[in-house]
Amino acid sequence: PLVDRLFNADETELKLARKLNIERTIIVPGNGDFQDRVYQEMGEALNSALDLLLPLGHSIITVLGGMALAKSARYLSKNLANNRELEFVPGRGALGENVKTQSNTIVQEMAARTHGEYKTLYLPEQVSEQAYNSLIREPAIADLLQDISQSDVVIHGIGLAQEMAKRRGYDSIKLSDLREKKAITECFGCFFGEDGRIVDRITQVGLQFENLSKIPRIFAFACGASKADAIKAYMPNAPHQTWLITDEGASEAILKEN
């Protein structure tokens, strides 16, 4: 069973973790670019990893959005609820684009599968500086932000910069500006460039990248050969405790290059 295998990473998983300088990788067979069943295996792998790592009792799990997580959320299972009370919290407001891939939707699905609780954050994803400063003082929002900061686990996707910028409605001027800054990858509203520096960011209410390192367990969730560059560019910035759940498509493409 997978739980046993988690104690015993195989050679490719160790190699990939070493290359990306993170604690652990789990690689499922296939290539998510073409095979939807990859998302089932990744979801089951996430379930097993959570079962292995989550303490008993109350846990807060902060979840970001994205397609990969949206497709895998239903594979969490009620066995996670044995001797645990799980609280799922969205890591940020809504993207506006597609209700299926929003954090708010994914936490509801995960909570339903694991008999857990969830909270929601119905705010636009991007807000002005001024709105941000007053929103974070709203009691209900401040309460949710406190939960986020006390999370036991964060689960997030990794996006390609240009694609994420388009999804977020960047116009052609902002898109070419992003290209000029050589943004490759996007996570937590931050666009990272080739050298790992943040070259652009969105003001969003929710988990701030700078606070991620304080979270005990982090799962990055991204698959398909097309995501290889995004994964490679984000990982040097990832806290070491990150576990990457991915597929052979992405992992072979990452390991191929030096």
Whose Cβ is closer to ligand F6P: residue 84's or residue 111's? 111
CB 120 within 8 A of CB 144: no
CB of 96 to ligand F6P, least distance (A): 12
Q: Facing residues of 53 across strands?
A: none
Q: How many residues bind ligand F6P (CB under 6 A)?
A: 14
Whose Cβ is closer to ligand F6P: residue 80's or residue 223's? 223
Decide if residue 157 touches ligand F6P (CB under 6 A): yes
d(CA 44, CA 42): 5
Whose Cβ is closer to ligand F6P: residue 9's or residue 162's? 162
Site for ligand F6P in 93-132 (CB under 6 A): 101
CB of 3 to ligand F6P, least distance (A): 25
Decide if residue 232 touches ligand F6P (CB under 6 A): no
> Which helix H or strand E contains 242, and what residues bound it?
strand 242-247
d(CA 224, CA 33): 5
User: How far lies 24's CA from each of 4, 186, 253, in Å?
Assistant: 15, 21, 18
Q: What angle do CA 164, 39, 209 make, to 5 degrees?
A: 40
The two most distant CA atoms of the chain are separated, in Å, by 52
- Window 182-211: contact mask with ligand F6P (x via CB under 6 A): ----xxx-----------------------
Whose Cβ is closer to ligand F6P: residue 49's or residue 69's? 69
CB 106 within 8 A of CB 73: yes
Instruction: Give the residues lining the site for ligand F6P (CB under 6 A).
Output: 64-68, 101, 156-159, 164, 186-188
